[in-house]
């Protein structure tokens, strides 16, 4: 118990799940198996920017669910918010996962986050490109 207590005393950042995704909902994932994963982080300097970002991701998820044929190719994973310690404006980082079920679709769409449509969305949300990071991983089965 001493080791756990040592970690709890570190003032470590805490991630709070704000939206569910295919990785937290077995029925949603079904029998699909991700072959790649992306993690997208959006630094939001204040609470209102973070809320706009989370709301936009929630709306995007609703639109995706209306296109079930695309859910066979990719899906959102859970979204988390990690508050920035000592930020009086309530800012922090929104962390979004993407599960990719089809390698060819991933190869075609992996840079969509940097396209004109997404840049316009980021501008509307107040998140500059330098506050966005996307990392991709190939999953080994």
Measured in degrees and rounded to the nearest 5, phi and psi for residue 110 equal: -60, -25
Average pLDDT over residues 47-60: 96
Average pLDDT over residues 41-52: 97
What domains can you pick out in the chain, each with its CATH number?
A: 13-23+33-138 (3.30.70)
The reported pTM is 0.87
Q: Are 98 and 115 in contact (CB under 8 A)?
A: no
pLDDT digits (tens, 9 = 90+) for 6-33: 555 566 778 999 999 999 999 989 999 9
pLDDT digits (tens, 9 = 90+) for 79-114: 999 999 889 999 999 999 999 999 999 999 999 888
């Amino acid at each position: 118990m001493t080791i756990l207590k040592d970690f709890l005393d570190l003032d470590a950042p805490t991630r709070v799940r704000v939206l569910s995704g295919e990785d937290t909902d077995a029925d949603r994932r079904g029998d699909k198996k991700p072959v790649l994963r992306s993690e997208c982080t959006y630094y939001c300097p204040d609470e209102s920017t973070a809320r706009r970002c989370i709301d936009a991701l929630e709306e995007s998820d609703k639109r995706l669910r209306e296109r079930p044929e695309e859910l066979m190719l990719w899906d959102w994973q859970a979204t988390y918010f990690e508050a920035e310690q000592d930020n009086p404006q309530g800012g922090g980082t929104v962390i979004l996962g993407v599960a990719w079920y089809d390698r060819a679709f991933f190869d075609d769409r992996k840079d969509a986050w940097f396209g004109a449509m997404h840049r316009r969305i980021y501008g509307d949300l107040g998140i500059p490109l330098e506050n966005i990071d996307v990392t991709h991983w190939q999953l080994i089965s």
